């Protein structure tokens, strides 16, 4: 099945609203010819500005996190409907930095996935093993546990709306990338998990992204892998030139 390449920038805690507008205005002509899906996960405070700048372009703006409750006494948190009200179209959930630095566990991430689906925000669920788990040859087991816990109880219809990003933690921001072959192998494993649980039509429909030190010079080799449908890009998404090269690989 042909899945349109999906390229997602994750700006993390970079760019003010004004910087976001300037970036989008500079990026859109650079990628005007593409037929790929281009998404940018901006900081909360830059979503609205980036969304306005991205109007009439093919760039969609989303968030990097949200809370699982529709509202409530959760100081410092942001809900799905708040994100939608300022133009967010998708949300990254369970990024390893959320798991490592903010103690997010699979159960919490699962509730967020369900909330995003209920509110019509596209969830991009991140999973990935740490270095010691990879070195111990446990990565498939770790990924299986994450997938199982984060996707448990979803219907086939819900699962068809989820994007999964495989981001080996040891490859994020380190300049080390999984080799295209090993990323391909893990993506096959993930797709077979989805097939087992949700059926083959669903597993063929969903997009699986690779993330971890994706750069203009390794993009083409990653995208040559048939099981990789797109990428989640951190550092290289902060630079217009580099991100445009990745989109136009």
Segment interacting with ligand PGA, rule: CB under 6 A, options 23-31, 79-87, 187-195, 227-235: 227-235
Contact between 167 and ligand PGA per CB under 6 A: yes
Distance CA 182, CA 226 (A): 12
Contact between 213 and ligand PGA per CB under 6 A: yes
Give the total of residues touching ligand PGA (CB under 6 A): 13
- Using H for helix, E for strand and C for coil, what is the string for 88-148? CCEEEECCHHHHHHHCCCHHHHHHHHHHHHHHCCEEEEEECCCHHHHHCCCHHHHHHHHHH
Contact between 212 and ligand PGA per CB under 6 A: yes
Q: What's 233's DSSP letter? A: E
> Which CB sits closer to ligand PGA, 100 or 118?
100
Contact between 232 and ligand PGA per CB under 6 A: yes
State the minimum distance, in angstroms, from the CB of residue 32 to ligand PGA. Answer: 24
Catalytic residue among 95, 97, 104, 139: 95
Contact between 172 and ligand PGA per CB under 6 A: yes
- Tokens 């090269």 locate to 245
Contact between 234 and ligand PGA per CB under 6 A: yes
3-state secondary structure of 248: coil
Distance CA 238, CA 118 (A): 31
Catalytic residue among 48, 97, 129, 167: 167
Is 141 among the residues known to form the active site?
A: no
> Which CB sits closer to ligand PGA, 48 or 167?
167
Is 95 among the residues known to form the active site?
A: yes
* Alpha helix positions (H), the chain: 17-30, 44-54, 80-85, 96-102, 106-119, 131-135, 139-151, 156-159, 180-198, 200-205, 216-223, 240-247
Binding residues for ligand PGA (CB under 6 A): 10, 167, 172-173, 211-214, 232-236
């Amino acid at each position: 099945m042909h899945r349109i390449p999906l390229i997602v920038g994750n700006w993390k805690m970079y760019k003010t609203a004004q910087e976001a507008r300037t970036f989008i205005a500079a990026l859109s002509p650079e990628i005007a010819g593409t037929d790929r899906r281009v998404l940018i996960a901006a900081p909360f405070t830059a979503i609205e500005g980036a969304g306005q700048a991205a109007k009439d372009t093919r760039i969609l703006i989303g968030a990097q996190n949200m809370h699982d409750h529709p509202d409530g006494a959760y100081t410092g948190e942001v809900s799905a409907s708040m994100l939608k009200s300022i133009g967010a179209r998708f949300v990254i959930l369970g990024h390893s930095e959320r798991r490592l630095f903010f103690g997010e566990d699979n159960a919490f991430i699962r509730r967020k996935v369900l909330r995003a689906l209920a509110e019509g925000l596209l969830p991009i669920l991140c999973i990935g093993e740490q270095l010691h788990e990879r070195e111990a040859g446990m990565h498939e087991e770790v990924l299986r546990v994450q997938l199982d816990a984060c996707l448990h109880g979803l219907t086939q219809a819900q699962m068809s709306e989820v994007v999964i990003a495989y981001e080996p933690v040891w490859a994020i921001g380190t300049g080390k990338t999984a080799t295209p072959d090993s990323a391909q192998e893990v993506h096959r494993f993930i797709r077979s998990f989805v097939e087992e649980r949700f059926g083959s039509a669903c597993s063929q429909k969903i997009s699986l992204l690779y993330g971890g030190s994706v750069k203009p010079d390794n993009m083409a080799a990653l995208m040559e892998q048939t099981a990789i449908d797109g990428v989640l890009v951190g550092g290289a998404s902060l630079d217009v030139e580099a991100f445009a090269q990745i989109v136009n690989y």
